[in-house]
Amino acid sequence: MEQKAIDRLQTEFQLSVNAINTGNTIENEKAILEAWEDWYLKAISTTNDVVSKSNGNINDAIKESQSRVSLKSQEWIKKLNTSSKN
């Protein structure tokens, strides 16, 4: 799921750059990326629901995956400022 999240966030970043370059605001596009980030972070956390018992290793893996997705998302959000035409 982590790779799917990163792939989707990258696609949304590209769409956001295009939208900004055609007149949409950076703030609106950041909100869209943040919404996708939030959705994937919550979806990743539900991975624990498929395990019958709580497992520390799985919980750690979920947190690590969420961290990597969040870091990548924040990287793209910061890039919106430099990737748009001003």
pLDDT, tens digit, 9 for 90 and up, residues 30-65: 999 999 999 999 999 988 777 767 777 888 999 999
DSSP secondary structure of 11-39: HHHHHHHHHHHTT--HHHHHHHHHHHHHH
* Segments making up each domain of the chain, as ranges: 2-83
pTM confidence score: 0.84
Say how far apart CA 48 and CA 65 lie, in whole Å.
12
Let me know: does 73 contact 10? Beta carbons within 8 Å.
no
What is residue 68's predicted lDDT score, i.e. its pLDDT? 97
**The two structure tokens encoding residue 16:** 């956001």
What is residue 23's predicted lDDT score, i.e. its pLDDT? 95
